[in-house]
Amino acid sequence: MQTTGTSLTVEELATRVGVPTSTVRMYQSKGLLHAPRRVGRTARYDSSHLQRLELVQRLQDRGFSLTSIVELLTAREQGATVADLLALPGGPEDWVPLGLGDIRLMIKPERLRPALLRKATQLGLIRWRRARPQARRWALSSGLRVAELDLPPGEVLDQMGLLQDPVTVSVTRPDWPVWS
């Protein structure tokens, strides 16, 4: 990740950014700054170090702690999104493995049909990874609660499909007031 052109000592880098050399070293020890290139016994820093230090300063100015900054930068380097990092719905933490036991708890074996799994997949409640199903965390939790009501799973999925379509919801709810 190092670029050519700029070659600074730790003192020069610290002066450019406006921090003590001890701060530069501390950032390295915390993983905020990658190791410099060595020329003999001298550490040489380049523009990538300068850019990183400026980014850390901007994040600190916005109120982020050093621990949070390390977490943000590590996630960014691993290709994670903000949703992934904050575990927002839609991120990787939103999907959990769906085992056969989970499916059997929600759908009685005699009612389980491939069409039900296809419908749940179309509705975005299930996805397939490496030929194994995963469910949205909220959908799994809700599905287990709905299963206690002993409703036909096909009807539940049909209603879920209607709920996802705002036009259908407004047309099929005659008790809603009509605004003129």
Assign 3-class secondary structure to 15-80: HHHCCCHHHHHHHHHCCCCCCCEEECCEEEECHHHHHHHHHHHHHHHCCCCHHHHHHHHHHHHCCC
Q: What is the dihedral of CA 150, 153, 159, 164, to 10 degrees?
A: 120
Per-residue confidence (pLDDT) for residue 88, from 0 to 100: 58
Per-residue confidence (pLDDT) for residue 173, from 0 to 100: 47
Domain ranges of the chain: 10-79, 92-171
Nearest to 73 by CA among 55, 49, 50, 93: 55
Residues of the chain with pLDDT under 50: 1-4, 168-173, 176-180
Per-residue confidence (pLDDT) for residue 89, from 0 to 100: 56
- Reduced to 3 states (helix: H, G, I; strand: E, B; else coil), residue 105 is helix
Distance between CA atoms of 34 and 158, rounded to whole angstroms?
53
Per-residue confidence (pLDDT) for residue 137, from 0 to 100: 76
Per-residue confidence (pLDDT) for residue 16, from 0 to 100: 95
Any idea how long the chain is? Answer: 180
pLDDT tens-digit map of 143-166: 777 877 888 888 888 888 877 665
Q: May I ask the CATH class of domain 10-79? A: mainly alpha
End-to-end CA distance of the chain: 62
